[in-house]
Protein backbone atom coordinates (compact mmCIF):
# COMPACT_ATOMS: atom_id res chain seq x y z
CA UNK A 1 0.00 0.00 0.00
CA UNK A 2 1.14 3.55 -0.75
CA UNK A 3 2.81 5.16 2.27
CA UNK A 4 1.28 8.41 3.63
CA UNK A 5 4.11 10.69 2.43
CA UNK A 6 5.02 8.90 -0.77
CA UNK A 7 5.59 11.46 -3.52
CA UNK A 8 6.65 14.20 -1.08
CA UNK A 9 10.24 15.36 -1.61
CA UNK A 10 12.08 17.01 1.28
CA UNK A 11 15.39 18.86 1.04
CA UNK A 12 17.02 18.51 4.44
CA UNK A 13 19.65 21.12 5.25
CA UNK A 14 19.55 20.43 8.98
CA UNK A 15 22.28 18.86 11.10
CA UNK A 16 22.76 17.12 14.42
CA UNK A 17 19.51 16.15 16.20
CA UNK A 18 16.21 18.10 15.91
CA UNK A 19 15.97 18.46 12.13
CA UNK A 20 17.47 15.11 11.13
CA UNK A 21 15.18 13.19 13.51
CA UNK A 22 12.23 15.14 12.09
CA UNK A 23 13.08 14.29 8.49
CA UNK A 24 13.90 10.68 9.38
CA UNK A 25 10.40 10.28 10.81
CA UNK A 26 8.91 11.72 7.63
CA UNK A 27 11.16 9.44 5.55
CA UNK A 28 10.01 6.43 7.59
CA UNK A 29 6.52 7.13 6.27
CA UNK A 30 7.51 7.43 2.63
CA UNK A 31 8.90 10.93 2.07
CA UNK A 32 11.83 11.19 -0.35
CA UNK A 33 14.38 12.95 1.85
CA UNK A 34 17.56 14.30 0.30
CA UNK A 35 20.05 15.15 3.03
CA UNK A 36 22.13 18.06 1.74
CA UNK A 37 25.52 18.36 3.40
CA UNK A 38 28.65 20.42 3.02
CA UNK A 39 31.26 18.56 0.93
CA UNK A 40 33.94 18.51 3.63
CA UNK A 41 32.88 16.59 6.71
CA UNK A 42 29.13 16.78 6.25
CA UNK A 43 26.79 16.68 9.22
CA UNK A 44 28.63 17.24 12.53
CA UNK A 45 27.10 14.00 13.83
CA UNK A 46 29.13 12.02 11.28
CA UNK A 47 32.21 12.65 13.42
CA UNK A 48 30.47 12.29 16.78
CA UNK A 49 31.31 9.46 19.18
CA UNK A 50 30.55 6.70 19.93
CA UNK A 51 31.68 4.99 16.75
CA UNK A 52 30.77 1.66 15.24
CA UNK A 53 33.40 -0.05 13.10
CA UNK A 54 35.48 2.12 10.71
CA UNK A 55 34.67 5.37 12.56
CA UNK A 56 31.00 5.35 11.56
CA UNK A 57 29.00 7.34 14.10
CA UNK A 58 26.34 5.36 15.93
CA UNK A 59 24.44 8.57 16.63
CA UNK A 60 24.40 9.59 12.95
CA UNK A 61 23.06 6.16 12.00
CA UNK A 62 20.16 6.50 14.44
CA UNK A 63 18.71 9.73 13.00
CA UNK A 64 19.44 9.52 9.26
CA UNK A 65 18.02 6.27 7.91
CA UNK A 66 15.84 6.21 4.78
CA UNK A 67 17.58 9.30 3.31
CA UNK A 68 19.77 10.07 0.32
CA UNK A 69 22.94 12.15 0.73
CA UNK A 70 23.92 14.92 -1.67
CA UNK A 71 26.87 17.22 -1.01
CA UNK A 72 26.49 20.86 -2.10
CA UNK A 73 28.67 23.86 -1.40
CA UNK A 74 25.91 26.44 -0.91
CA UNK A 75 28.48 29.25 -0.90
CA UNK A 76 29.43 28.57 -4.52
CA UNK A 77 27.29 29.83 -7.40
CA UNK A 78 27.20 26.46 -9.16
CA UNK A 79 26.33 24.72 -5.92
CA UNK A 80 23.52 27.18 -5.27
CA UNK A 81 22.16 26.73 -8.81
CA UNK A 82 22.10 22.97 -8.24
CA UNK A 83 20.12 23.55 -5.06
CA UNK A 84 17.68 25.83 -6.91
CA UNK A 85 17.07 23.07 -9.46
CA UNK A 86 16.16 20.72 -6.64
CA UNK A 87 13.83 23.32 -5.12
CA UNK A 88 11.80 23.46 -8.35
CA UNK A 89 10.66 19.87 -7.80
CA UNK A 90 10.65 19.79 -4.00
CA UNK A 91 7.76 20.04 -1.56
CA UNK A 92 9.57 20.89 1.68
CA UNK A 93 12.84 22.47 2.78
CA UNK A 94 14.04 21.98 6.37
CA UNK A 95 16.88 24.12 7.73
CA UNK A 96 18.43 24.66 11.13
CA UNK A 97 20.82 27.58 10.66
CA UNK A 98 20.90 30.54 13.00
CA UNK A 99 18.43 33.22 11.78
CA UNK A 100 19.90 35.32 8.99
CA UNK A 101 22.34 32.74 7.62
CA UNK A 102 20.03 31.44 4.88
CA UNK A 103 19.41 34.97 3.63
CA UNK A 104 23.16 35.49 3.21
CA UNK A 105 23.32 32.20 1.31
CA UNK A 106 20.34 33.29 -0.84
CA UNK A 107 18.37 30.20 0.11
CA UNK A 108 15.85 31.86 2.45
CA UNK A 109 12.10 31.34 2.13
CA UNK A 110 11.48 34.45 0.02
CA UNK A 111 14.19 33.42 -2.44
CA UNK A 112 12.89 29.87 -2.75
CA UNK A 113 9.18 30.65 -2.99
CA UNK A 114 10.01 32.84 -5.99
CA UNK A 115 11.33 29.65 -7.62
CA UNK A 116 8.56 27.38 -6.32
CA UNK A 117 5.47 29.03 -4.77
CA UNK A 118 4.33 25.65 -3.43
CA UNK A 119 7.43 25.14 -1.31
CA UNK A 120 6.97 24.63 2.43
CA UNK A 121 9.95 26.02 4.31
CA UNK A 122 10.54 24.85 7.88
CA UNK A 123 13.11 26.76 9.94
CA UNK A 124 14.14 25.20 13.24
CA UNK A 125 16.01 27.50 15.61
CA UNK A 126 16.60 27.93 19.31
CA UNK A 127 14.56 31.06 19.87
CA UNK A 128 12.59 31.62 16.66
CA UNK A 129 13.02 34.01 13.76
CA UNK A 130 12.20 37.14 15.76
CA UNK A 131 12.52 38.50 19.29
CA UNK A 132 15.45 39.70 21.41
CA UNK A 133 17.12 36.26 21.60
CA UNK A 134 16.79 35.33 17.91
CA UNK A 135 20.53 35.53 17.21
CA UNK A 136 21.69 33.91 20.45
CA UNK A 137 23.48 30.58 20.41
CA UNK A 138 21.64 27.86 22.26
CA UNK A 139 21.36 24.20 23.16
CA UNK A 140 18.77 22.09 24.94
CA UNK A 141 19.95 23.13 28.42
CA UNK A 142 19.52 26.81 27.51
CA UNK A 143 15.96 26.41 26.23
CA UNK A 144 15.01 24.39 29.30
CA UNK A 145 16.54 27.06 31.50
CA UNK A 146 14.60 29.89 29.89
CA UNK A 147 11.33 27.92 29.86
CA UNK A 148 11.28 27.20 33.60
CA UNK A 149 11.55 23.44 33.11
CA UNK A 150 15.15 23.10 34.25
CA UNK A 151 14.43 24.97 37.47
CA UNK A 152 12.01 22.31 38.68
CA UNK A 153 14.16 19.30 37.79
CA UNK A 154 15.93 17.67 40.72
CA UNK A 155 15.53 17.68 44.48
CA UNK A 156 14.22 20.49 46.62
CA UNK A 157 16.80 23.15 47.53
CA UNK A 158 19.45 21.48 45.38
CA UNK A 159 21.06 22.38 42.06
CA UNK A 160 18.78 21.57 39.11
CA UNK A 161 19.41 18.21 37.46
CA UNK A 162 20.27 18.26 33.75
CA UNK A 163 18.00 15.76 31.94
CA UNK A 164 19.76 13.03 29.99
CA UNK A 165 17.39 13.30 27.04
CA UNK A 166 16.95 16.39 24.90
CA UNK A 167 13.49 17.58 25.91
CA UNK A 168 13.49 20.89 24.04
CA UNK A 169 15.46 19.63 21.04
CA UNK A 170 13.18 16.65 20.42
CA UNK A 171 9.95 17.59 22.20
CA UNK A 172 10.09 21.21 21.09
CA UNK A 173 12.08 21.01 17.86
CA UNK A 174 11.63 17.61 16.22
CA UNK A 175 8.00 16.89 17.06
CA UNK A 176 6.72 20.41 16.41
CA UNK A 177 8.56 20.48 13.08
CA UNK A 178 6.87 17.25 12.04
CA UNK A 179 3.48 18.63 13.03
CA UNK A 180 4.12 21.98 11.37
CA UNK A 181 5.23 20.41 8.10
CA UNK A 182 2.26 18.05 7.98
CA UNK A 183 -0.16 20.90 8.74
CA UNK A 184 1.40 23.02 5.99
CA UNK A 185 1.11 20.14 3.52
CA UNK A 186 -2.59 19.79 4.34
CA UNK A 187 -3.09 23.56 4.07
CA UNK A 188 -1.42 23.48 0.65
CA UNK A 189 -4.08 21.10 -0.63
CA UNK A 190 -6.62 23.87 0.07
CA UNK A 191 -4.63 26.95 -0.97
CA UNK A 192 -2.30 25.60 -3.62
CA UNK A 193 0.66 27.45 -2.12
CA UNK A 194 3.30 26.72 0.49
CA UNK A 195 4.18 28.67 3.61
CA UNK A 196 6.87 29.37 6.17
CA UNK A 197 6.99 27.18 9.31
CA UNK A 198 8.82 28.91 12.18
CA UNK A 199 9.82 26.43 14.90
CA UNK A 200 11.47 27.67 18.08
CA UNK A 201 12.79 25.08 20.53
CA UNK A 202 12.18 27.53 23.37
CA UNK A 203 8.55 27.92 22.24
CA UNK A 204 8.31 24.14 22.14
CA UNK A 205 9.66 23.82 25.68
CA UNK A 206 7.15 26.39 26.96
CA UNK A 207 4.46 24.29 25.28
CA UNK A 208 5.34 21.50 27.72
CA UNK A 209 4.32 23.60 30.73
CA UNK A 210 0.56 23.01 31.26
CA UNK A 211 1.00 21.15 34.55
CA UNK A 212 3.58 23.54 35.97
CA UNK A 213 1.91 26.63 34.52
CA UNK A 214 -1.47 25.75 36.02
CA UNK A 215 -0.20 26.47 39.52
CA UNK A 216 1.40 29.79 38.64
CA UNK A 217 -1.45 31.02 36.45
CA UNK A 218 -4.06 30.13 39.08
CA UNK A 219 -2.29 31.32 42.23
CA UNK A 220 0.69 33.41 41.18
CA UNK A 221 2.98 30.99 43.01
CA UNK A 222 5.81 29.60 40.92
CA UNK A 223 6.34 25.84 41.43
CA UNK A 224 9.71 24.68 42.71
CA UNK A 225 11.48 21.33 42.52
CA UNK A 226 10.29 18.76 45.01
CA UNK A 227 7.15 20.61 46.08
CA UNK A 228 4.34 19.22 43.96
CA UNK A 229 3.03 15.74 43.27
CA UNK A 230 4.84 15.42 39.93
CA UNK A 231 8.15 17.00 40.95
CA UNK A 232 9.14 14.59 43.71
CA UNK A 233 7.52 16.05 46.79
CA UNK A 234 4.99 13.29 47.46
CA UNK A 235 5.27 9.64 48.48
CA UNK A 236 2.68 8.52 45.94
CA UNK A 237 4.76 9.66 42.96
CA UNK A 238 8.33 8.82 43.77
CA UNK A 239 11.52 6.90 43.02
CA UNK A 240 12.67 4.47 45.72
CA UNK A 241 15.93 2.58 46.18
CA UNK A 242 15.74 -1.18 46.69
CA UNK A 243 17.93 -3.66 48.55
CA UNK A 244 20.19 -4.35 45.54
CA UNK A 245 20.99 -0.68 44.97
CA UNK A 246 18.57 -0.43 42.05
CA UNK A 247 15.49 1.76 41.87
CA UNK A 248 11.80 1.43 41.20
CA UNK A 249 9.18 4.07 40.57
CA UNK A 250 5.70 4.50 41.98
CA UNK A 251 3.06 6.61 40.23
CA UNK A 252 -0.03 6.06 42.36
CA UNK A 253 -1.82 9.34 41.60
CA UNK A 254 -5.36 7.99 41.32
CA UNK A 255 -6.90 7.22 44.69
CA UNK A 256 -7.72 3.59 43.95
CA UNK A 257 -4.09 2.94 42.93
CA UNK A 258 -2.83 4.65 46.07
CA UNK A 259 -5.31 2.76 48.25
CA UNK A 260 -4.20 -0.55 46.78
CA UNK A 261 -0.55 0.28 47.47
CA UNK A 262 -1.17 1.40 51.05
CA UNK A 263 -3.26 -1.67 51.86
CA UNK A 264 -0.65 -3.95 50.30
CA UNK A 265 2.05 -2.35 52.43
CA UNK A 266 -0.05 -2.72 55.58
CA UNK A 267 -0.56 1.03 55.92
CA UNK A 268 -4.26 1.76 55.32
CA UNK A 269 -3.93 4.85 57.52
CA UNK A 270 -1.84 6.44 54.74
CA UNK A 271 -4.77 6.44 52.31
CA UNK A 272 -6.34 9.79 53.33
CA UNK A 273 -2.89 11.38 53.59
CA UNK A 274 -2.00 11.07 49.90
CA UNK A 275 -1.96 14.86 49.30
CA UNK A 276 -1.46 16.06 52.86
CA UNK A 277 1.79 18.02 52.79
CA UNK A 278 2.50 17.60 56.50
CA UNK A 279 2.36 13.79 56.21
CA UNK A 280 4.73 13.37 53.26
CA UNK A 281 7.91 13.19 55.34
CA UNK A 282 6.54 10.34 57.45
CA UNK A 283 5.28 8.40 54.43
CA UNK A 284 8.46 8.95 52.44
CA UNK A 285 10.52 7.63 55.35
CA UNK A 286 8.35 4.52 55.62
CA UNK A 287 8.38 3.66 51.92
CA UNK A 288 12.09 4.42 51.59
CA UNK A 289 12.86 1.96 54.39
CA UNK A 290 10.30 -0.62 53.27
CA UNK A 291 11.50 -0.81 49.67
CA UNK A 292 15.05 -1.52 50.85
CA UNK A 293 13.87 -4.83 52.31
CA UNK A 294 13.76 -6.60 48.92
CA UNK A 295 15.44 -6.38 45.54
CA UNK A 296 13.90 -4.31 42.79
CA UNK A 297 12.70 -7.30 40.80
CA UNK A 298 11.27 -8.98 43.89
CA UNK A 299 9.25 -5.85 44.62
CA UNK A 300 8.04 -5.55 41.05
CA UNK A 301 6.90 -9.16 41.05
CA UNK A 302 5.07 -8.62 44.34
CA UNK A 303 3.47 -5.36 43.20
CA UNK A 304 2.33 -6.95 39.94
CA UNK A 305 -0.34 -8.78 41.95
CA UNK A 306 -2.17 -5.51 42.71
CA UNK A 307 -3.47 -2.66 40.58
CA UNK A 308 -1.00 0.15 41.19
CA UNK A 309 1.47 2.06 39.03
CA UNK A 310 4.91 0.58 39.67
CA UNK A 311 7.84 0.04 37.37
CA UNK A 312 11.61 -0.29 37.20
CA UNK A 313 14.14 2.49 36.72
CA UNK A 314 15.86 0.72 33.86
CA UNK A 315 19.30 1.31 32.49
CA UNK A 316 19.36 1.85 28.72
CA UNK A 317 20.59 -1.74 28.35
CA UNK A 318 17.70 -3.02 30.46
CA UNK A 319 15.26 -0.91 28.45
CA UNK A 320 16.36 -2.51 25.19
CA UNK A 321 15.93 -5.96 26.75
CA UNK A 322 12.54 -5.17 28.28
CA UNK A 323 9.85 -7.58 26.99
CA UNK A 324 7.30 -4.82 26.34
CA UNK A 325 9.77 -2.70 24.37
CA UNK A 326 10.93 -5.74 22.39
CA UNK A 327 7.35 -6.85 21.75
CA UNK A 328 6.57 -3.40 20.33
CA UNK A 329 9.60 -3.73 18.04
CA UNK A 330 11.24 -0.57 19.36
CA UNK A 331 14.61 -2.11 18.58
CA UNK A 332 15.33 -3.90 15.33
CA UNK A 333 18.35 -5.17 13.47
CA UNK A 334 19.41 -4.38 9.90
CA UNK A 335 22.28 -5.35 7.66
CA UNK A 336 24.90 -2.74 6.76
CA UNK A 337 27.16 -3.43 3.74
CA UNK A 338 30.35 -2.62 5.69
CA UNK A 339 29.40 -2.94 9.33
CA UNK A 340 27.35 -6.12 9.26
CA UNK A 341 24.36 -6.26 11.58
CA UNK A 342 23.53 -3.00 13.37
CA UNK A 343 20.59 -2.02 15.53
CA UNK A 344 18.07 0.76 15.02
CA UNK A 345 15.49 2.36 17.31
CA UNK A 346 12.05 1.33 16.11
CA UNK A 347 9.05 3.29 14.87
CA UNK A 348 7.07 4.83 17.76
CA UNK A 349 4.11 5.74 15.50
CA UNK A 350 2.16 2.62 14.58
CA UNK A 351 -0.30 2.96 11.69
CA UNK A 352 -2.45 -0.09 10.96
CA UNK A 353 -2.79 0.28 7.18
CA UNK A 354 0.31 2.27 6.23
CA UNK A 355 3.02 1.50 8.79
CA UNK A 356 6.49 2.99 8.72
CA UNK A 357 9.12 1.07 6.82
CA UNK A 358 12.88 0.63 6.81
CA UNK A 359 14.23 1.11 3.31
CA UNK A 360 17.91 1.95 3.64
CA UNK A 361 20.59 2.60 6.21
CA UNK A 362 21.92 6.14 6.79
CA UNK A 363 23.90 7.12 3.68
CA UNK A 364 27.60 7.76 3.29
CA UNK A 365 28.55 11.37 2.62
CA UNK A 366 27.65 12.22 -0.97
CA UNK A 367 26.59 8.65 -1.67
CA UNK A 368 23.79 9.75 -4.01
CA UNK A 369 25.51 12.65 -5.79
CA UNK A 370 25.75 10.96 -9.19
CA UNK A 371 22.23 9.51 -9.14
CA UNK A 372 20.49 12.73 -8.08
CA UNK A 373 22.50 15.03 -10.33
CA UNK A 374 22.06 12.72 -13.32
CA UNK A 375 18.30 12.88 -12.79
CA UNK A 376 18.60 16.67 -13.14
CA UNK A 377 20.46 16.38 -16.44
CA UNK A 378 24.06 16.73 -15.28
CA UNK A 379 26.57 14.69 -17.27
CA UNK A 380 29.31 12.59 -15.72
CA UNK A 381 31.91 15.15 -16.82
CA UNK A 382 29.95 18.04 -15.31
CA UNK A 383 29.62 16.18 -12.03
CA UNK A 384 33.36 15.45 -11.96
CA UNK A 385 34.19 19.08 -12.74
CA UNK A 386 31.93 20.38 -9.96
CA UNK A 387 33.50 17.92 -7.57
CA UNK A 388 37.02 19.06 -8.49
CA UNK A 389 36.03 22.72 -8.07
CA UNK A 390 34.51 22.10 -4.64
CA UNK A 391 30.94 22.87 -5.73
CA UNK A 392 29.75 19.47 -4.51
Length of the chain: 392
Residue 390 has pLDDT above 90, yes or no: yes
For residue 75, give its domain range: 9-207+332-388
pLDDT at 185: 99
- The answer to whether position 213 is within a domain reads no
Domain with residue 21: its CATH number is 3.40.50.10540
- The answer to whether position 50 is within a domain reads yes
Residue 297 has pLDDT above 90, yes or no: yes
Q: What is the pLDDT of residues 348-371, one digit of tens each?
A: 999 999 999 999 999 999 999 999
Global pTM reads 0.95
**Are 135 and 191 members of one domain?**
yes
Residues in Cβ contact with 222 at an 8 Å cutoff, skipping those fewer than 6 apart: 148, 215, 216
Strand 310-312 with 247-251, pairing = antiparallel
**Are 45 and 146 members of one domain?**
yes
**Are 94 and 197 members of one domain?**
yes
Q: What is the pLDDT of residues 115-145, one digit of tens each?
A: 999 999 999 999 999 999 999 999 999 999 9
pLDDT at 1: 86
- The answer to whether position 70 is within a domain reads yes
**Are 303 and 353 members of one domain?**
no
- The answer to whether position 116 is within a domain reads yes
Residue numbers annotated as active site: 169
**Are 160 and 124 members of one domain?**
yes
**Are 91 and 146 members of one domain?**
yes
The alpha carbon of 150 is separated from its chain's Cα centroid by a whole number of angstroms, namely 17
- The answer to whether position 2 is within a domain reads no
- The answer to whether position 219 is within a domain reads no
Question: How many domains, in total, are found in the chain?
Answer: 2
pLDDT at 227: 86
Percent of the chain with pLDDT over 70: 100
Q: What is the pLDDT of residues 195-210, one digit of tens each?
A: 999 999 999 999 999 9
Q: What is the pLDDT of residues 23-70, one digit of tens each?
A: 999 999 999 999 999 999 999 999 999 999 888 999 999 999 999 999
- The answer to whether position 318 is within a domain reads no
Q: How far apart are CA 298 and CA 291, in angstroms?
A: 10
pLDDT at 53: 85
**Are 48 and 191 members of one domain?**
yes
Percent of the chain with pLDDT over 90: 95
Count other C-beta atoms under 10 Å from residue 377's C-beta: 8
Among 206, 207, 183, CA closest to 195: 183
Domain with residue 304: its CATH number is 3.30.1540.10
Q: What is the pLDDT of residues 312-342, one digit of tens each?
A: 999 999 999 999 999 999 999 999 999 999 9
**Are 160 and 307 members of one domain?**
no
**Are 258 and 359 members of one domain?**
no
Q: Where among 282, 312, 342 does a domain terminate?
A: 312
- The answer to whether position 165 is within a domain reads yes
**Are 201 and 256 members of one domain?**
no
**Are 257 and 355 members of one domain?**
no
DSSP type of residue 364: P
**Are 37 and 136 members of one domain?**
yes
Amino acid sequence: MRLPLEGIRILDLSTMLPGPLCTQTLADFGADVIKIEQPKGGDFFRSSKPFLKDDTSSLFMLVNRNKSSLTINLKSEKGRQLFYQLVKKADVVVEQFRPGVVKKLKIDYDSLKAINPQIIYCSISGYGQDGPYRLNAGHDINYLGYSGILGVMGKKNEKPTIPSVQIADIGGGTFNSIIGILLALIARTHSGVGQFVDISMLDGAVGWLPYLASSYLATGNSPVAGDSMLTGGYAAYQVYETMDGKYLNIGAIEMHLWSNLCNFMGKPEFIPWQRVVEKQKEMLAFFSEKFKSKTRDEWLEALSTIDTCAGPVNTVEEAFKDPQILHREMLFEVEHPRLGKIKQIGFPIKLSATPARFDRIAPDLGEDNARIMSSLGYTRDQISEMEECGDI
